[in-house]
């Protein structure tokens, strides 16, 4: 028998939050949400656990999440341990035959399975795969000078849809197969954008280590159109590491994704705040409404 206790303000606030979330829970029932997971949160056990719990909650309330992850720091660590020396061209790593073997081992092995286990530990049913599985991603070579670095040319999301139907949560390592069977490493954001476009996802969430897209005054812009992004890039307001993320956002929207959000993955429950509250999180990018 439960004990009678005085009402607690925190309990009341929790109940109110759940009640206010109802229209958003209804809105996203059956929706496909692709999440690019990376940055600081991947290396922190507590943040990994929190992220996994949020993903399981999303699946529990009827959302179909797909997690696409990176793993650059883990790759660098393993290359150093194995004594694999990398060359760089214009600041970008050359992924030769020896390097791509390590990349595949780390991404499809250590990193992918850690995320899968974290989701399963929270009661979800996660399945790990890479873009090489079931013909998910076929790549063209991005630049011969960079070796086995690929750009998605074909994406067949059938296996992901089958996993949705089975109640599973796909966790995808950003690797793809070449037309001759080669293994290509793909930028994590690019892979997530290509998968989101192929699925015509409702949302693509790009988790990063910054609060969102900032204007010239350094303030986060909460909502942008593709034209705003192009103008801010041309003027130099969007620069550095934010450029490839916004380029991914534009390509995803052109490919049929309803909206892309660039948000701070370090913020507690960032994905839930974005989907299930009225204020969202980060910078939302979508085409202007007709």
Q: How far apart are CA 45 and CA 75, in angstroms?
A: 18
How open is the CA angle 124-125-126, to the nearest 5 degrees? 105
* Best CA proximity match to 263, nearest among 206, 179, 182, 199: 206
Q: How far apart are CA 128 and CA 111, in angstroms?
A: 10
* Best CA proximity match to 31, nearest among 204, 270, 251: 204
User: In this structure, what token pair is assigned to residue 212?
Assistant: 């969102």
Cβ burial 234-248 (10 Å sphere, 16+ → b, else e): eeebbeeebeebbbb
185 marked ligand binding residue: yes
Q: How far apart are CA 35 and CA 246, in angstroms?
A: 15
Length of the chain: 290
Asked if residue 205 lies in contact with residue 274, where contact means CB atoms within 8 angstroms, the answer is yes
71 marked ligand binding residue: yes
Q: In a 10 Å sphere around its CB, with 0-12 CB exposed, 13-18 middle and 19+ buried, how is residue 227 labelled?
A: exposed
72 marked ligand binding residue: yes
Q: Based on C-alpha coordinates, what's the Rg of the chain?
A: 20
Binding-site residue numbers for substrate are 71-72, 93, 185
Binding-site residue numbers are 71-72, 93, 185
């Amino acid at each position: 028998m439960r004990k009678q206790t005085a009402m607690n303000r925190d309990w009341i606030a929790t109940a109110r939050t759940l009640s206010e979330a109802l229209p958003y829970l209804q809105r996203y029932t059956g929706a496909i949400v692709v999440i690019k997971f990376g940055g600081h949160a991947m290396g922190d056990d507590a943040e990994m656990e929190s992220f996994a719990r949020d993903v399981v909650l999303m699946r529990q309330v009827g959302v179909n999440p797909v997690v696409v992850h990176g793993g650059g720091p883990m790759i660098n660590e393993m290359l150093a341990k194995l004594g694999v020396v990398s060359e760089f061209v214009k600041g970008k790593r050359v992924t030769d035959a020896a390097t791509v073997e390590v990349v595949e081992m780390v991404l499809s092995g250590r990193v992918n399975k850690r995320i899968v286990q974290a989701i399963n530990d929270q009661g979800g049913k996660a399945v790990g795969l890479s873009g090489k599985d079931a013909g998910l991603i076929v790549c063209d070579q991005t630049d011969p000078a960079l070796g086995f670095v690929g750009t998605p040319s074909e994406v067949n999301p059938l296996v992901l849809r089958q996993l949705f139907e089975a109640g599973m949560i796909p966790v995808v390592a950003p690797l793809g197969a070449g037309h001759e069977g080669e293994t290509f490493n793909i930028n994590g954001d690019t892979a997530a954008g290509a998968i989101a476009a192929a699925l015509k996802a409702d949302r693509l969430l790009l988790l990063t280590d910054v609060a969102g897209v900032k204007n010239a005054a350094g303030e986060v812009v909460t909502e942008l159109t593709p034209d705003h992004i192009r103008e801010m890039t041309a003027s130099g307001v969007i620069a550095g590491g934010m450029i490839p993320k916004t380029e991914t956002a534009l390509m995803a929207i052109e490919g049929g994704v309803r909206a892309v959000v660039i948000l701070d993955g370090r913020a507690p429950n960032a994905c839930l705040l974005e989907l299930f509250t009225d204020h969202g999180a980060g910078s939302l990018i979508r085409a202007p409404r007709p």
